[in-house]
Amino acid sequence: MDMMNWQQLLSPIRFGEPQGTLAVELGRSPFHKDYDRIIFSSAFRRLDRKTQVHPLSENDHIHSRLTHSLEVGCVGRSLGTRVGEALQNELPDAITPQDLGAMVQAACLAHDIGNPPYGHTGEDAIRHWFRDPQNQHFLEGLSELEKADLKTFEGNAQGLRIVTQVEYHRFQGGMRLTYGTLGAFLKYPWSVDYVSRGERKKFGCYQTEMPILREVASTLGLIQTSEDAWCRHPLVYLLEAADDICYGLIDLEDGIEMGLLRYQEVEDLLRPLLAQQWQDSSLDLEQADNDRRRLQMLRGQVMEAMVSGVSKAFVQQQTALLSGTLKGDLVDYCEGPVAQVIYAAKDLARQRIFKDGRKLAVEIGSYSTLGILLEAFLTAVRQRICEGQATFRNERVLELMGKSAPQSDWSLYQAYMRALDYISGMTDNYAADLAQQFSGYQPV
């Protein structure tokens, strides 16, 4: 049986820097520096104005994509540190449990960095536009895989492009994160071809970044499963568990805040995780003077139980994780009611929160918003590439992209990807305002 090893998987070498470069800095490990590079990036900052669940919310207590990412990072750090403490004797000498925690935290921090305006609805709006029969002329001249990348626009693949290409050292290594953190970040280390064939639901790498994926997989020793496809880095399972924990708890918290759920039904759902200490827990909860604070206290206790269950499951499943043979999610292997509660919480959110009327109305409008932007930018891009120059109007559109605007000697696919970098990087508000300007302001 092929096995991955922690020595390679936790590589502190940085992608994009000369091989062998390993700068040691007092007080910060390479993985802590990864965290800092992500959190200070403009792409991460823009997540504050990108949809988590409720687009363009006017309630300051509702989570944005930024606050969600920060919270997932906190849970991921706890999971990584606990796993590091349990496996300390099996880790490389230079790696501490805190390093493992920092690596997972950094990966969690960036896990949604590639999401376009309006979150998952925005992803579907971009896919829908490229699949629309009226827009098929935009795909003329592209290869089948290049067409598939556009028609299956994926925030995870866009995220890899951002951290390795777009941010900081533009197209010279990007953020130059460590290979270890990039591995923990890569949820879907395979190309769009596996989605096109119906073998996978998502993918994590566009054709533009395939050389990068191959390099990361080779450096980390990821097991290759087929052409341009590898098994996941074991720490990806901690990232996903952290995301599931936060989705399961935080979506319910937002639901109560918006009046879509009642506090008591959420407490009843979460209570099985605290069955053994419920008497003491309930006494603490009684000290809260309103439901919001009571829920915050309950969430903290429940999250502790979930983190404990997931980290224990990781250690128990280490052999399957290192051999790339684990089936399903790590949460599925947790003992007791952990998996049941997480999945029940996510199901309640889907049924009662995701179908909120205002949310649905804004999401429907996002298709028009992104359609207007894609039409304008891709028309200008295509004209410059195919004709060598653009009309006066289209030149003005390209000027908005600044130095990211494509040059006339680029390939059409390369130029389209630069336009998607620009559009997908927009916040919800900016995308809506720009689309309105492109449509022409209407007098009040």
pLDDT tens-digit series, residues 64-82: 889 999 999 999 999 999 9
CATH of region 6-230, choose from 1.10.3210.10, 3.30.460.20, 3.30.230.30, 1.20.120.1630: 1.10.3210.10
pLDDT tens profile 230-269 = 999 999 999 999 999 988 788 788 888 777 888 888 888 8
DSSP β-bridge partners for residue 205? 191
pLDDT at 58 over 60: no
The answer to whether the beta carbons of residues 15 and 176 sit under 8 Å apart is yes
- Is pLDDT above 70 for 52? no
Specify the higher pLDDT residue, 127 or 361. Answer: 127
What pLDDT does residue 373 have?
98
In this predicted structure, what is the pLDDT of residue 359?
Answer: 60
pLDDT at position 199 over 50: yes
Q: Is the pLDDT of residue 326 over 90?
A: yes
Looking at residue 441, what is its pLDDT?
61
For the chain, give the mean pLDDT: 90
Question: Which band of pLDDT confidence, cut at 50, 70 and 90, is reported for residue 192?
Answer: very high
pLDDT digits (tens, 9 = 90+) for 352-367: 776 655 566 667 888 9
22 or 253, which is more confident? Answer: 253
Dist CA 148 CA 134 (whole Å): 17
CB-count exposure of residue 107 (10 Å: 0-12, 13-18, 19+):
buried
Model confidence at 290: pLDDT above 60? yes
pLDDT reading at 56 higher than 50: no
Helix (H, G, I), strand (E, B) or coil at 440: coil
Mean pLDDT along residues 9-36: 84
Confidence of residue 61 (pLDDT cuts 50, 70, 90): low
- Buried b vs exposed e over 387-408: b needs ≥16 C-beta within 10 Å? eeebeeebeebbeebeeebbee
| Residues in a beta bridge with 224 | 230
Q: What is the pLDDT of residue 377?
A: 97
Helices (H), 317-427: 318-322, 338-352, 357-387, 392-400, 412-424
Give 375-378's long-range contacts (Cβ < 8 A, gap of 24+): 375/129, 375/135, 376/438, 377/401, 377/419, 377/422, 377/423, 378/138, 378/416, 378/419
Residues ≥6 apart with Cβ < 8 Å to 440: none
- The pLDDT of residue 279 is above 80: no
Of residues 350 and 4, which shows the higher confidence score? 4
